[in-house]
Amino acid sequence: MTDKPHKRVAIVAGVGPGLGAALVRKLAKEGCRVGMFARSPEFIAKLAAELGEDALAIPTDISNAKQVAAGFRKVRRQLGPVEILIAHASGSVGEGLMKTTPDQFERSWRIAVLGAFLCAREAVPDMLKVATGRVRPTGGRGSGAIIFTGATSSVRGRGGAVAFSSAKFAIRGLAQSLAVELWPKGIHVAHVIIDGVIDTPNVRKTYKPSAKEPLLNPNAIADAYWELIQQDRSAWSLEIDMRPHREAFFE
């Protein structure tokens, strides 16, 4: 394991060109060493090259337990013990009840829920060692953080998106259950509801939104994630809900 003091080690599971990339860049900007998990190697390889030696691209199917374990081993070996985990991956497949196949439904759950569960199981032992002093914290804070990315579908179903919505409901339950278990042990678990459309190149190209369309800035969202990670343990947030100021409520 390489000893590079004063830098916390983070893993972002599910890195694409939108919010995932913004989260990685924010963590790197704040002095973290970042491992990136994604099924497609090309994008994360380019992002790692952009960010330098403190970024590590690891092609990973997070629904596969062996690949997740191997990815964490590589991060520990090259960057150090994991203190921050952002479970960001999700899969949106199928359309409505009758047009969603059992395989599509299961795939959405395996990516979002099982993947988050597998990553948390790998990350928590590192965080507990830091919290109990058995491993010196690289950043000097002494507490770990796990953040789950949710969506509007985490709190209310979306018409047609039975696989995505049910998986996001499950992510919220997983986050709340882990918070009960891990907060007393010094690990901050939080759930972020993204209630709106994120402004990404793909959204611009596919949907061609008007100038008046309320969109979420991915860099601003990443700033909010970092604020959660930095919160004092006397006033941790369990859940935050983010939306652009012109987004309608409860629709």
Report which DSSP code applies to 244. -
Residue 227: pLDDT over 50 = yes
Residue 128: pLDDT over 70 = yes
Task: Judge whether 49 and 178 are in contact, CB under 8 Å.
Answer: no
Q: How far apart are CA 95 and CA 159, in angstroms?
A: 9
Q: What was the pLDDT predicted at 190? A: 98
Residue 151, helix vs strand vs coil: strand
Q: What was the pLDDT predicted at 167? A: 94
Residue 42: pLDDT over 60 = yes
Q: What was the pLDDT predicted at 1? A: 45
Q: Could you tell me the pLDDT band of residue 199, with boundaries at 50, 70 and 90? A: confident
Tokens for 187, please give them: 């690990």
For residues 190 and 92, the model is more confident at 190
Taking residues 182-186, report their average pLDDT: 94
For residues 211 and 182, the model is more confident at 182
Domains (range + CATH), the chain: 9-242 (3.40.50.720)
Residue 139: pLDDT over 70 = no
Please report the sign of the dihedral spanned by the C-alpha atoms of residue 25, residue 58, residue 89, residue 15.
positive
Taking residues 30-39, report their average pLDDT: 96
Q: Could you tell me the pLDDT band of residue 137, with boundaries at 50, 70 and 90? A: very low
Residue 225: pLDDT over 50 = yes
| pTM of structure | 0.91
Q: What was the pLDDT predicted at 196? A: 85
Task: Judge whether 88 and 149 are in contact, CB under 8 Å.
Answer: yes
Q: Could you tell me the pLDDT band of residue 150, with boundaries at 50, 70 and 90? A: very high
Taking residues 51-56, report their average pLDDT: 95
- Alpha-carbon dihedral 201, 203, 208, 212, rounded to 10 degrees: -100
